[in-house]
Structure 1
Amino acid sequence: MPDLESNQKPEQGGANDVTWGFKILGRIIGTLAAAAMIILGLMTMIGFSGSCLLAGILMMAFGGLVIMIEAPIFCQYFQWAEMVTQFVDNRPYFLRAGLYLILSVIPFALCQSVSSFLGCGAMFVAGTFYGVIAVGKKGDAVKAATAAHGGAGYQPQVNNDDSTLR
């Protein structure tokens, strides 16, 4: 019987240690952040300055891009949208986190209003969540200290002296 798992390429650039729950939660957070960015981008466009108009347009465009990445079912009639989604899905999570953080900073730098703060803030939270996923699980402190000190015979120092408590 052939080994089926050896023929499959790794997802997310080798990030197989991410649970399916975090993957789905990341998609949900990204989709909600993109929807918020689109809606609040429309509200940002109502401002009286040209920079707020440009920021609102960028927020709506960036929100559409993130919707296409996170929830391709909404863009199923665009054949090129599937290629973009597959391209981003085959990359590590830290690149997606960086993309979302950059996409959230640009419109807010143009127009500092409440609606742009909320919309860009939602996208910033999604980027931060993907950044946390990219970092991964926290390691064991004793194993890290053992590796840092050469590994052989390392014992963590524990203060059991009760005189320091008085």
Structure 2
Amino acid sequence: MAAFTLYSLDRSMFLSEECSSENMEIAPGLASYEIFDVHPEGASSSGGASVECDEDDDYVYAGKSYKTSDGNADILSYYKDAAQADGWRPMVSNAPSPPPGGSNSLCFSKPMGDTAAYFSVHLDGEVGAQTRSYWLMVAAAHDYAPQDGDGLC
């Protein structure tokens, strides 16, 4: 099992002091999802999982970064299979399409108490590059669970 850091969650760990108390309650569960420990062969974590609050949109998220020296690895397909095997449901807008800069992403959802958690994969760099970076994110809001993951993926 890959190591990641779970922090004792209090307001001091967030960049923002504006995280709602409701979102603070769901924050501890976000970094504990096992999907953060899953990665393709040859990929390595470039840090522990972090938890932050987005005060503008009032949601909380956990993220973890990886890098791989295999620029041809099909990271999105790997996480699509891994996420579905772990019970994550693909979102409607899950067709990988590169925005400017050559990044790709995928989004999935899973029930989490009275709301939903959204798992996303964000891939940077070009296929075939010597090193590629990507990051994983699980986001949730106590009062917002969009059908298409809008704003949380």
* TM-score normalised by the chain length of structure 1: 0.31
Bigger helix share? 1
* TM-score normalised by the chain length of structure 2: 0.32
| Highest RCO, 1 vs 2 (Cα 8 Å, sep ≥ 6) | 1
Give the greater-gyration-radius structure (CA). 1
Bigger strand share? 2
